A and B are shown apart, each in its own frame.
Chain A
Amino acid sequence: MTWEEVAALGILALTAPAVPGIAVKTKSFLTGRRGAPVLQLYFDLWKLLRKGTVYSRTTTWVFRAAPIVVLASLIAAALFLPLDGRAAPVGFAGDLVAFAGLLALGRFALVLAGMDTGSSFEGMGASREVTIATFAEPTLFLCFIALVLATGDVSLGGMLGAPLAAAWPGAGASLSLVGVSLFVLLLAENSRTPVDDPATHLELTMIHEVIVLDHSGPDLALILYGSALKLALFGVLVVSVFVPRAALAGPVALAVLFGGLGAVAVAVGVVESVMARLRLSRVPQLLVGAAALALFGIILQLH
């Protein structure tokens, strides 16, 4: 773990709340509105951190532990990503399993916290969240398998690092499919349109937002920040697949990464402007479609 890697991680942690801000701004621009400032989430987080907390009398320590488990798991997951395109701060053979496991850990904590309130709305959100994750997680692994096949490396630092740049000329078509599949996953895992509508405030229609109905104050701040970080992490995955940065100098690689993250945020905003939310029963089909793309990416590489 060098200080450059730590610095890159720090910048990612600081800029993450701007990613959903850019998406919202894009959507507002395309629909002819002025929209909230890009930095709105920072203001919200600051406000929430200073507020008090209200706990439901039904809840147990599970509810109280969830926000820190969610955030800790996402920060830990960030450690496995090679932000400078060369090496990750932490990495070992099979660490992609740890990456997916950490996402699952955060999800488990959040879903249980929702169930802990005893509210039917939160139960509904929890049920939807695990349903969507059931289709998202195998898709994520199909993408990983395709990357393993392309690079011959079983760690995220390798799959998204130097070996990936070497693999692009030979496996470009396959990697493009994987990148598109990862972008669909980004939309699904982060509850963006067309899977969920982050702008809605009708409890019955929401997924992610409805699980956290009962969280308040600093707890809610941690969860909101965690969501932004998760979006940024998936953004890093997408950018890393499309733009291998191993050959670039350190600062340039980081600049490319954050430029790419901005572009991903704009793309999310564009999707949100041109599409409506899918019916819930259609969401699995979207994800199976993404899985099929990744599967084609794998088939193209079989030899």
Chain B
Amino acid sequence: MTLVAVGLLLIVLAGVAATALSRWPAAAAWVFRVLFGAGCVAGGIAALAVLAGTAVPDVRFGGAAPFGAWVFGLDPLAAVFLLAIVSVGAACGFYGLDYLARERGHRAVGAAHLLLALLVTALAVTVIARAAIPFLVGWEVMAVLAYLLVVHEHERRDVRRAGLIYLAVTHVGILLLFAVFATWAGETGDLSFDALAAHPAFVAGRGAMILVLALIAFGLKAGSVPFHFWLPEAHAAAPSHVSALMSGVVIKMGIYGLLRTLVLFGAPPPWWGWVVLALGACSGVLGVVWALAQHDIKRLLAFHSVENIGIILLGVGAGALGMAYGYPLIAVLGFAGAVLHTINHALFKSLLFLGAGAVIHATHTRDIDRFGGVARRMPATAAAFLVGSAAIVGLPPLNGFVSEWVIYQTLLRGGSAGGAIQLAGLGAMVLALIGALALACFAKVVGVMYLGEPRDIAAAGAREPAAGMIRPVVGLAAACIAIGLLPIAVVPAALRVGSVVAGIAPATAGPAAVAAGPATVFTAGLTAALLLAWAARAAVVRRRGHAEAATWACGYAAATPRMAYTASSFAAPLLGAFRSVAGVRTTRTAQAFATHPSDPVLERVVLPAWHGVRAAAMALRPMQRGGLQLYLLYVVLAVVALLFYLFATGRTL
């Protein structure tokens, strides 16, 4: 814990230094890099030690504080999220230095670095908190800091709107969390996690209420359908490195919350597992269908976060079903798969956001259809982005495959287990549908954005960004490849976390149960085979030479980039097949075909509901006159009404 504390202190200091030294940008960047990097390394080492099996004692402050002591600790579940926070945080922090550099002078860049450092700290505090009060404080600070970072470009109207939606949603979430903990603690008032875990059996309905409220609150943070509507807005509005951090780790706090709830609550009833599984399936399929419809690269990536939260929830749901129906292996595998996918998604999604950010930085546009041919102009970024795309699609031999493989196994084992849990097997079909749609979507993104010829003058002038923006992206790609190459190095740790969540001894599901060894042979062998084949091909081509020509346009001699397939056309057949849920408007003229995405939940449910609430609130407006005496009268009236209520129900003060 000392190491974590030192690390967090260094990270905060890095942020402070970046602001204090903002008059000397080069020195500020240098100090920020050293302190921030050292802090992240310290946190990472502490997390890895715990994941390797070291036990860390809890730290307690203020035993007499209201609602119990402030306890902090690092168990494997907290450690795995801490690891994601520091690794993605480091990449985003370093990237931000160069990404924001050109804004220096007309915006408080140093403050943005400070906010980012504080956000990383708040995230870390939230996961190491072992009592409700520090958890909620960390949660709220995290939410507000994320809001401030989202509205970085606050002079833009759409950015302010996105920030406001995010702020409203996140506060609804924290209110629900107050309700969860208040209901949970009941009469005792002790809000430390140990006390919550030792709760006596809940009276009928109270346990169900806790689980439902927790699911909504954490679902709002995670961005699961139908609570996702804030996510694409906020992610698109934020600067790219903030989007990467939000998508990589901030929304994962929702997953952390769900898993922590399960640790403290114990086995949930079966219906809860089915609800989570269904939410996961809906999030996964709808997220990727909506992503397919987007033309704004950042909104597209944001919808893929909805999809991947769906995949993670499939794992959580299957694990919860394993707990509920008493299949320890399925429970451990499900949670392990969910945790592993959380880490993997943190890596490849931040990689994709940072990679896309580099292209946006170079071209000043986010419209996929205006790119093209970027791979020839930004080869390193393009190669890293391609690795991230293959990883998010779940292709072997990359990390996305490893975690999806564990989740598939969980679902299939559920299917063959017998009894009611058999239906979970169909989740494997849903996962396959999600995977195939994701493949279509990333074929579109990579194909239209990076390959082919530039469709726009901006794309034609794209150049690689500063090395400080390439290194984090390549580093994340290397992490994706490494996890893919060595499942055996990560799966045992994930299983340890899974058994913590499932509440059973780690010995129940050894690495042998998930065949991490043979999978390692497979992914490493496949990688080796691909590299060998590439080398052999290079040798043959060098010996035999090749000719170059224009692309064969079926005899047409004057093909132009405008004739290349657009993102709209590419996605059209699939969007047509899913038109009932895609929420896409199509315009078709003799010369042009275009699809216009919308978010059905935001446009048809949330905004109308919000306008209803607003109208109701306006009806109360006449009460608000602005005079202090009037408000005092209201207070007195409320107290009197409460007293009457107490007397009428026969209670005493």
B443 near A115 with CB under 8 A, answer: yes
The distance from the CB of B607 to the nearest CB of chain A, in whole angstroms, is 30
Q: Are A127 and B415 in contact (CB under 8 A)?
A: no
Query: Which A residues are CB-close (under 8 A) to B529?
Result: 72, 75-76
Q: Are B439 and A130 in contact (CB under 8 A)?
A: yes
Q: Are A119 and B537 in contact (CB under 8 A)?
A: no
Specify which chain B residues have a CB less than 8 angstroms from the CB of A76 in the assembled complex.
Answer: 522, 525-526, 529
B552 and A145: CB pair below 8 A? Answer: no
Report the minimal beta-carbon distance from A287 to chain B, rounded to whole angstroms: 10
Band of interface residues on A: 35 or more
Interface residues of A in 190-222 (CB under 8 A from B): 203, 213-214, 218
Asked if A87 CB lies within 8 Å of chain B CBs, one says no
Q: Is the CB of A152 within 8 A of B416?
A: yes
Q: B99: which A residues are within 8 A, CB to CB?
A: none
Interface size of B by CB at 8 A reads 87
Flag if B432 contacts A100 (CB, 8 Å).
yes
Task: Determine whether A57 belongs to the interface, using a CB cutoff of 8 Å to chain B.
Answer: yes
Closest residue of chain B to A93 (Cβ to Cβ) is B515
Name B404's contact: one of A91, A97, A124, A144 (CB within 8 Å): A97
- Give the residue name and chain of the B residue nearest to A118 (CB): B452
Cβ < 8 Å to B, chain A residues 42-76? 52-60, 62, 64-65, 68-69, 71-73, 75-76
Assembly CA distance A65 to B448 (angstroms): 18
Q: A267: CB under 8 A from chain B? A: no
Taking CB atoms, residues of chain B closer than 8 Å to A71 are 533
Asked if B541 contacts A53 (CB within 8 A), the reply is yes
Cβ–Cβ contact A56 & B433, under 8 A: no
- Report the nearest A residue to B529, measured CB to CB: A72
Counting CB contacts under 8 A, is B472 at the interface? no
Tell whether, in the assembled complex, residue A203 and residue B415 are in contact, meaning their CB atoms are under 8 Å apart. no
List chain A residues, Cβ under 8 A from B577.
131, 134-135, 284
**Are B437 and A134 in contact (CB-based, < 8 A)?**
yes
Whether the pair A118, B572 counts as a contact (CB closer than 8 A) is: no
Chain A positions within 8 Å of B138 at CB level: none
Q: Is B217 an interface residue (CB 8 A)?
A: no
Chain B residues near A93 (CB-CB < 8 A): 409, 513-515
Kindly state the separation between the CA atoms of A207 and B443 in the bound complex, as whole angstroms: 15
A302 to B426, alpha carbons, bound, how many Å?
A: 12
- Is B228's CB within 8 Å of the partner chain A? no
Measured CB to CB, the closest approach of chain A to B615, in angstroms, equals: 42
| A54 with B439: CB separation less than 8 A | no
Q: In the assembled complex, which residues on chain A have CB atoms less than 8 Å from the CB atom of B396?
A: 98, 101-102, 105
Determine whether A170 belongs to the interface, using a CB cutoff of 8 Å to chain B: no
> With contacts A55-B547, A121-B553, A121-B554 known, is A127 near B572, CB below 8 A?
yes
Q: Does A92 lie at the interface of the complex (its beta carbon under 8 Å from any beta carbon of B)? A: yes
Most buried by A among B404, B429, B530, B534: B429
Enumerate chain B residues within 8 angstroms of A31, measured Cβ to Cβ. Answer: none
Tell me if B393 and A104 are in contact (CB < 8 A).
yes
A145 and B452 contact, CB distance less than 8 A: no
> Which of A19-27, A106-114, A178-186, A225-233 lies at the binding interface?
A106-114
Query: What secondary structure prevails in chain A residues at the interface with B?
Result: helix
Interchain CA distance A213-B553 in the complex, whole Å: 9
What is the bound-complex CA distance between A213 and B550, given in angstroms? 13
Measured CB to CB, the closest approach of chain A to B283, in angstroms, equals 17
Asked whether, in the complex, the Cβ of A62 is within 8 Å of the Cβ of B451, the reply is yes
The distance from the CB of A200 to the nearest CB of chain B, in whole angstroms, is 13
A214–B515 CA distance with the chains assembled, in angstroms: 41
Q: Tell whether, in the assembled complex, residue B428 and residue A144 are in contact, meaning their CB atoms are under 8 Å apart.
A: yes
The answer, among A73, A91, A126, for a CB contact under 8 Å with B443, is A126
**Contact in complex: B547, A54 (CB < 8 Å):** yes
A90 touches B (CB below 8 Å): yes
Asked whether A142 is an interface residue with its Cβ less than 8 Å from the other chain, the reply is: yes
A44: shortest Cβ distance to chain B, in Å?
Answer: 19
A68-B386 Cα distance, complex, nearest whole Å: 17
Interface presence of A298 (CB below 8 A): yes
A297 on the interface (CB 8 Å rule)? no
Shortest B574–chain A CB gap in Å is 5
Partner of A145 from the list B415, B436, B448 (CB cut-off 8 Å) is B415
Is A2 among interface residues, defined by CB-CB distance under 8 A?
Answer: no
Nearest A residue (CB) for B289: A134
Which residue of chain B lies nearest to A110 when distances are taken between CB atoms in the complex? B443
Q: Which residues of A contact B561 (CB under 8 A)?
A: 118
- Interface check A140, CB cutoff 8 A: yes
**Contact A108–B443 (Cβ < 8 Å):** yes
Q: Mark B418-454, 1 if CB is under 8 A from A, else 0.
A: 1000110110111111011101101100111001110
Q: Jot down 24 A-B pairs with beta carbons below 8 A, ordered by A.
A: A53-B541, A60-B379, A71-B533, A72-B526, A92-B522, A93-B514, A94-B514, A107-B439, A108-B393, A112-B451, A118-B551, A118-B561, A124-B569, A133-B440, A138-B433, A138-B436, A141-B432, A148-B415, A148-B416, A148-B425, A149-B416, A154-B416, A280-B573, A291-B429
Q: Which 3 A-B residue pairings sit nearest by Cβ, starting from the closest?
A: A123-B565, A115-B447, A118-B452
Instruction: Name A's B-contacting residues (CB within 8 A).
Output: 52-60, 62, 64-65, 68-69, 71-73, 75-76, 90-98, 100-102, 104-105, 107-108, 111-112, 114-124, 126-128, 130-131, 133-138, 140-142, 144-145, 148-149, 152, 154, 203, 213-214, 218, 280-281, 284, 291, 298, 302-303
Q: B interface vs A, CB < 8 Å? A: 372-373, 375-376, 379, 382, 386, 390, 393-396, 401, 404-406, 408-409, 412-413, 415-416, 418, 422-423, 425-426, 428-433, 435-437, 439-440, 442-443, 446-448, 451-453, 513-515, 517-519, 521-522, 525-526, 529-530, 533-534, 537, 540-541, 544-554, 559, 561, 563-565, 569-574, 576-577
